[in-house]
Amino acid sequence: KQEVTQIPAALSVPEGENLVLNCSFTDSAIYNLQWFRQDPGKGLTSLLLIQSSQREQTSGRLNASLDKSSGRSTLYIAASQPGDSATYLCAGSYNFNKFYFGSGTKLNVKP
Amino acid sequence: DAGVTQSPTHLIKTRGQQVTLRCSPKSGHDTVSWYQQALGQGPQFIFQYYEEEERQRGNFPDRFSGHQFPNYSSELNVNALLLGDSALYLCASSLSDGLVNEQFFGPGTRLTVL
């Protein structure tokens, strides 16, 4: 059974801090790992997609890594800003785009 | 280029009623997936449509059904609504080219069952 776990469930940091969000999955036969951002009551915004043949992806201040052997992915946010405050979700797919989501990490960046 | 759109944005129904939610995929995408997101939880996969057929289904009862039209838009139908069906319903579209498979989500429909 595929399960995705995110730790911590919530995180509060001062502005400017670098931070790491963790995602773990039980089945290493993962196809894609995708990180999303969700603002309260809104849909999901795709941040980064890591294919199974890749180890990391970068976009601006965001860097996501994938280690299939250990069943882990991390999202690194550099120089955090109050606008980064949101819930961050990771999702793994195993076939035909069926994604399994974690429960998310709620991030609060304090000015 | 319009992204994924969903309608309506909010909906209030009573127990036992039926509801239909609609989704238009991102331009060029041919696959639509539906998810249910309860408050404080991650989205749960309901089912996926490709070429007007249900290709995969999650652990949801038959009260949840769907349809995909030739223009790739999709509907989610829920019959005999229960209080527990109250959630944010998300639609995601992707391109089934077997390569990247990145999913793009719509803004969701907030369903409240009273």
List, for residues B80-90, the tens digit of each pLDDT value.
999 999 999 99
Helix, strand, coil tally for chain B in percent (to 5)? 5, 50, 45
Q: Percentage of residues in chain B with pLDDT exceeding 70?
A: 96
**Model confidence band, residue A58 (pLDDT cutoffs 50, 70, 90):** very high
Of B42, B96, B110, the CB nearest to A101: B42
What is the pLDDT at residue A36?
96
Strands B10-13, B109-113: pairing is parallel
What is the pLDDT at residue A97?
64
Q: Please name the residue that has the structure tokens 């989500």.
A: B105
What is the pLDDT at residue B97?
74
Query: Residue A76: which of A87, A65, A66, A63 has the closest Cα?
Result: A63
For residue B89, what are its two tokens?
Answer: 């319903």
Q: With contacts defined as CB-CB under 8 Å, which chain B residues touch A43? A: 4, 6, 90, 105-108
Using CA atoms, how far residue B48 sits from B19, B30, B90, in Å, is 18, 11, 12
Indicate which of A21, A23, A34, A44 best probes the interface with B, i.e. most B CBs within 10 Å of its own CB.
Answer: A44
| Cβ-contact B114, B86 below 8 angstroms | no
- Answer whether A104 touches B (CB < 8 Å): yes
Q: With contacts defined as CB-CB under 8 Å, which chain A residues touch B6? A: 43
CB contact under 8 A, A97 and B103: yes
